[in-house]
Amino acid sequence: GFIWSDHPYGTAFFSLTGLHGLHVLIGLVVFMVVIFLMKKGHYEIARHDSFRAVTMYWHFVDAVWILLFLIVYLEVI
């Protein structure tokens, strides 16, 4: 194992995975807000931009995770 200050790889590993984890947490919180608003009838056919924005954000976080996995775990790049 390694820790944050052992090696530059440790610093990069914990920084990248930590920031990604923070973005996942933010996405989950925003998704919960959107679900709450959806259950209250906030969204209509013409008024659903925030729902689309959250889903686009979540797909972006997914794509970043694939890239991070390749870089950090498989050391492809």
pLDDT digits (tens, 9 = 90+) for 18-73: 999 999 999 999 999 999 988 998 887 777 888 889 999 999 999 999 998 898 88
Reported as a single tens digit per residue, the pLDDT across 15-32 is 988 999 999 999 999 999
- C-alpha 45/C-alpha 18 separation (Å) is 37
Within 1-77, strands assigned E span: none
Q: What are phi and psi of 47, to 5 degrees?
A: -130, 80
Q: pTM of the prediction?
A: 0.78
- C-alpha 69/C-alpha 39 separation (Å) is 35
Query: Which alpha helices (DSSP H) does the chain contain, by range?
Result: 8-39, 49-68
